[in-house]
Amino acid sequence: MKKIFVPLFLLVSITSFSQNLSFDAKGIVAISDADMAASAFANGKIYKEKGIKDAFTSIKLPLEKSYDEVRSVIVSNSAANHTKAMVVSNTHHLAYVVDTRGMLADNVAELKNINEDLPAGGFITVIDIADVAHPKVLYKFPTGKNPIGIDISPKGEYLVLCTEEEGKELQVLELDPSGKPVRIIHRPQGLPAGKISDVSWHPNDNFIAFTFEDTKEVGLLKTTRDGPTNKIVRLELQGKPVKIGTTPGAGQFTPDGKFYVIPDLKRGQGDVEGEIFVIKFNLEGTEHFPISKAKVGQNPEGFAISPDGSLIVVANIKRTFLNWESADLSRKASLSLLKLTPDGSLVNHGEYEFEGILPKSVEFDRSGKNIAVTVYDYFNYGKHFGGIEFWKVNQGAKPSLQKQDFKMFLTRGCHSLRVVK
């Protein structure tokens, strides 16, 4: 595939630098869905900016020279998923970006039904990030119609993804030593039919959590391996799926694998706060059960767990995505800070508001002392940008968040980020 870079004048205009950034990582990668304004999710009006394309942005850290550490390439991606649109393989120095829906033409002004009228997606783009300052698009491969979410195994040997295509609702892709998919392991035959909206790999490498969208259930799959090669040969359902809330989003395991954390967005229920659930999966038996839950802000789509597993930061979208003239519009989003105790209980340590539209993704740095949060757009007239904002995490008995005096402006539609460790 031909490598296409955003022109230099765009790089200069999209980034705001400061020497005060505190974030412990080799780099950050982020993707932007430039096809439409955030309010299109509410009213279908696209407000597409002519000539601006979906972007994959790579940021080398620490920042040393003005503008030199940020580069963007054109990579089709979509915000029409639950935040798992991209994974990073630190083993292969690759990023895998899911194209849930295709890019819109510049002349499209409005969609009558955004769920039905967006162009179908059906592939993953692979980007070389060995040199974080110079990302290179390598190739694409097909997945099935409208891939929704993706995760990578702890050792970087497998991808798991879910799509909306019948027969390809869940697939595990074996990767060769270069990170290229070479074999597919399909969903178990005994798994009930239904749309799978999320998948997450367990830290011990032998289990995969999944979510049934229609029944609002979360279940567990066990990977059965061949003895001599230790390769996965099939997937088996482990126990009975457990019902969670009304609109389960994208979940993830705690770093030690002891608990599974998943938000309930409570969509379509009016002005209702979201919730975060903690689930205990039984890896040896059949009984799985939720052990605690806590209220957070409205529309809590993205969240992150600290490296030591003690803290959870939730990005609450609220109603920032509504039309700007709407009486129900929220002009501020928020972050909720929760403490996760060793027994799986949740303790809420406050909600922190900030200006920004549709924050969908949040990540801790390697130290656990800082977080980065995506912003889809800002309430500014004229030129529109997405961004990444940074917060310090004050740890201890009474943890808190403190906004850093730093932000990066990227292509509008920034909706997912990952840390390069």
| pTM score, whole prediction | 0.94
State yes or no: pLDDT of 345 exceeds 80: yes
- 198: helix, coil or strand? strand
225 DSSP β-pair partners: 232
What pLDDT sits at residue 162? 96
Give me the pLDDT at residue 68, please: 62
Q: Residue ranges per domain, the chain? A: 8-305
Residues in the chain: 421
Q: Which helix (H) or strand (E) holds 232?
A: strand 232-237
For 8-305, CATH number? 2.130.10.10
Exposed / middle / buried, residue 397 (Cβ in 10 Å: 0-12, 13-18, 19+): exposed
Residue 3 pLDDT level (bands cut at 50, 70, 90): very low
Q: Span 395-417, mean pLDDT? A: 95
Residue range 57-70, pLDDT digits in tens: 999 999 876 656 78
Cβ neighbourhood burial of 213 (10 Å; 0-12, 13-18, 19+):
middle
Q: How far apart are CA 9 and CA 183, in angstroms?
A: 42
pLDDT tens figures, 50-108: 889 999 999 999 987 665 678 999 999 999 988 899 999 999 999 999 999 999 888 88
134 contacts: CB under 8 Å, gap ≥ 6? 58, 71
What are the pLDDT digits (tens) for 283-318? 998 899 999 999 999 999 999 999 999 999 999 999
